[in-house]
Amino acid sequence: MASNFRSYIWDPVLIICQIVLMQCIYYSFLGLWLAGVDSLVHSSRSLDQIFSYEILGFATILGRLSMMAFVLNSLTCALGLWFFIRRGKQCLDFTVTVHFFHMIGCWIYNAHLPSTLSWWLVNVACMALMAVIGEYLCMQTELRAIPVNSGPKSNL
């Protein structure tokens, strides 16, 4: 009898659904974190805060708070990896996929690739944070002891 413990079956529909779910988590929580930042500095909400690479920077308070929102979003997305992906080996894959699609979105929104160093630093740092924390959480769940009930014990 073959063991089915931790078996992985290729399911492209599941993978696509998980990618869409992680994109939804990424943008919805990023929007919530940025709304919180906007309420702190009383600025107007805009898609520029999500997709424009010029917003992220160390020069202005809004740029620094936006970077903080991106970092907090990576922590929230790590929880999303833990709740919905549940496999430590797949955390890096989904993290890179989410950030790759975000880069494509920024490229389309700005009509060229992001060119500021701060945008690349923030996104690479957020990618590393999301992958490491997500993998840590998933590994903690995977490494839990599996209870084995052998029934009533008898003295033979």
CB 92 within 8 A of CB 78: no
Measure the CA–CA gap between 128 and 138, rounded to whole angstroms.
Answer: 15
What stretches of the chain adopt beta strand conformation (E)?
none
Mean pLDDT of the chain: 89
Please, what sign has the CA dihedral across residues 143, 149, 155, 156? negative
Measure the CA–CA gap between 107 and 111, rounded to whole angstroms.
Answer: 6
Question: What integer pLDDT is reported at residue 150 of this predicted model?
Answer: 64
46 phi/psi in degrees, rounded to 5: -155, 155
Q: What is the mean pLDDT of residues 47-55?
A: 89
List, for residues 75-133, the tens digit of each pLDDT value. 999 999 999 998 889 999 999 999 999 999 999 999 999 989 999 999 999 999 999 99
Measure the CA–CA gap between 105 and 36, rounded to whole angstroms.
Answer: 22
Question: What integer pLDDT is reported at residue 11 of this predicted model?
Answer: 86
**Domain locations in the chain?**
59-141
